[in-house]
Amino acid sequence: MIKTTQHGGTMKLNQNGLLIVLSGPSGVGKGTVRRALFDIKGHNLTYSISMTTRKPREGEVDGEDYYFVSKEEFEQRIKEGKFLEYAEFVGNYYGTPIDKVEDSIKAGKEVVLEIEVEGAKQVKKKKEDAVFIFIAPPSFLALKERLHRRGTEAPEIINERLEKAKRELRLINDYDYIVINDSVDNAANRIMAIIRAEHARTKRSGEGYIELLEETNNE
């Protein structure tokens, strides 16, 4: 029998969760928006923690912000095909362990990936039914100011990130949605609205609803 479940106060007909890919240029505020998204009440979200070879920044916790590993361990995992996606930037690897993502989706969780644009392209080849959301800055100047204000990198690294951002902003049409991070709370609320709307799409829930109607008629 088809069972309906509650999701954010609404009926959910499809039993599998969604893979939500949040992407965008470095410095756009992906992490801040993602944390605000998880602060919204009444959700079924789980965060897919990425793995990286870069050193932790101040305040970052291993196993919460990232899994911090050596370059050798990361490259061994690449050989074993243990990543949904991975990328190398400014001498460091970043990747998404595939096993935890798939287990969470099967359990009905909404799995949120917060990854770079190059990684999102890899995910799209493997998970076409994922929901791809591009988080964009209000302007390029706002992005530049945010990177400088962060104060965690040398000027040459910031310039490299800005040049990369120019190329990435031209890829917006490869995504399902664009959310402008003009306000963190506004951006988070727009993403939550997208997630709820995706569960109402007929390609995800239509078959379940028809089966539910048939079961009701046979009672």
How confident is the model over 28-51, as a mean pLDDT? Answer: 91
Name the token pair of 150. Answer: 């962060």
Structural contact between residues 74 and 114, judged by C-beta atoms closer than 8 angstroms: no
The model's pLDDT over 117-136, given as tens digits with 9 standing for 90+, comes to 888 998 998 888 899 999 99
Q: Residue 108: is its pLDDT beyond 90?
A: no
| Average pLDDT value over all residues in the chain | 85
Please tell me what DSSP assigns to residue 153.
S
Structural contact between residues 110 and 20, judged by C-beta atoms closer than 8 angstroms: yes
The residue count of the chain comes to 219
Q: Residue 2: is its pLDDT beyond 60?
A: no
The residue type at 198: E
Q: What pLDDT is recorded for position 1?
A: 32
Name the token pair of 14. Answer: 């499809």
The model's pLDDT over 134-158, given as tens digits with 9 standing for 90+, comes to 999 999 898 888 888 887 778 888 8
Burial-class residue 130 by CB neighbours within 10 Å (0-12, 13-18, 19+): buried
CA distances from 82 to 19, 27, 70, 73, 108 (A): 17, 27, 15, 11, 22
* Contacts (Cβ under 8 Å, ≥6 apart) of 28: 135, 136, 137, 143, 146, 165, 181
